[in-house]
Amino acid sequence: MMTRPAPEPVQVVKQRRDAALSALVNGMPYVSWLGVQFDRRGDELTAVLPFHEALIGNPNLPAIHGGVTAAFLEITAMVTLNWTWLWGDVESGVLDAEEMAQGKLPRLPKTIDFTVDYLRSGLPRDAYARAFVTRSGRRYASVRAEAWQDNRDRPLAQATAHFLMPRKD
């Protein structure tokens, strides 16, 4: 008779995934400085940027700084690519999530270029973003990202980015 291994306890799964994600996000001081957080549902990530005064770019409107929107999308694209790329190794145990959390990260992709289109002015309230890995090859990856505020179908900005993948020695 075929025996299936017992499924992992839910808290073990959650702890591993949250530790790996936290290692990817909180390892970057700039991400914490900006205040970007990540919401995880299974393998799906949503970046959240809670509004604060230091994000303002035009005090007269007021509106969020275009540089903030760009940085937010760039962080979303980068973290989502890293997450997608390492997911298999985290799940299989090739990468130890606890060691990652202590700063032992594998070499990560580098941004080659980043293009952002501004679609609406950023209002003084929270923003959300998701990224999609369009293609992840051996050497290069192409990622698109979208940010919104009140309505998911009224994007604030969209972006595409290319990344150089680390060599697997």
Binding piece for other proteins, criterion CB under 8 A, among 15-23, 56-64, 82-90, 148-156 = 56-64
Residue 34 or 123 with smaller CB distance to other proteins: 34
Number of residues that bind other proteins (CB under 8 A): 36
Of 71, 79, 86, 129, the one binding other proteins by CB under 8 A: 71
Please, what is the minimum distance in Å from the beta carbon of residue 129 to other proteins? 12
Q: How many CB atoms lie within 10 A of CB 34?
A: 17
Interface region with other proteins, contact rule CB under 8 A, candidates 90-98, 103-111, 134-142, 144-152: 103-111
| Binds other proteins by CB under 8 A, chosen from 31, 86, 95, 145 | 31
Cβ neighbours, 10 Å, residue 39: 12
Q: Toward other proteins, which CB reaches closer, 5 or 103?
A: 103
Token code pair at residue 94: 């090739």
Say what angle helices 10-26 and 66-92 make with each other, to 10 degrees. Answer: 140
SS3 content of the chain, % helix, strand, coil (to 5): 35, 30, 35
User: Could you give the C-alpha distances from 151 to 19, 66, 126, in angstroms and in order?
Assistant: 30, 19, 12
Determine if 125 is a binding residue for other proteins (CB under 8 A): no
